[in-house]
Amino acid sequence: MPYDPDNIFAKMLRGEIPCNKLYEDDDTLVFLDIMPRSDGHTLIITKEQAESLFEASPGGLAKLMAVVQTLAPKIRDAVGADGVLIAQFNGAAAGQTVFHLHVHIIPRKEGEPLRPEGAQRADQTVLAATAEKIRAKLAGD
Ligand code: AMP
């Protein structure tokens, strides 16, 4: 399947649709997932047009993973979680629904189950408050 420049994350990168942005640099955009599996569920996307991990350049992938490595523990701490699930899906059969390379950062609290996948769109007021808390943590470090 060729890369679709009208996928939802491509539109976000062009500023055509809003997101709860946490961080941005030359190579990545980081924002809250709209249907969070846990509080602080974050997506990190490449600015490079890559449908999945397999189409990314090695350099682009390295930059993406460096941002994951730096931000994941800070997001964990900002929402008071105990651990972090990092997930990345390639292809519809593997569970990918948006065909622009992204990595999920999903903070986990001891004994707290994940919310069901795609079950509920979060309240924007709640997402905005979570984003503010994480941005404050990132700014303070
Ligand atoms: P995946 O199954 O890895 O392709 O995950 C795509 C993710 O994008 C899902 O967790 C969705 O909840 C999330 N998502 C879809 N649309 C938006 C949006 N407009 N803003 C933020 N997250 C979104």
Using the predicted structure, report yes or no on whether residue 1 has a pLDDT greater than 90: no
CATH no. of 8-138? 3.30.428.10
Nearest CA owner, ligand 1 atom 17? 34
Task: Say what the pLDDT of residue 2 is.
Answer: 87
> Ligand 1 pocket check: which of 19, 20, 21, 34 to mutate, most ligand atoms within 8 Å of Cβ?
34
Task: Say what the pLDDT of residue 120 is.
Answer: 81
pLDDT digits (tens, 9 = 90+) for 66-92: 999 999 999 999 999 999 999 999 999
Task: Please state the domain extents for the chain.
Answer: 8-138
Beta bridge partners of 84: 107
Task: Say what the pLDDT of residue 112 is.
Answer: 96
CA distance 98 to 4: 10
pLDDT digits (tens, 9 = 90+) for 25-55: 999 999 999 999 999 999 999 999 999 999 9
Q: Which two tokens stand for residue 121?
A: 């769109």
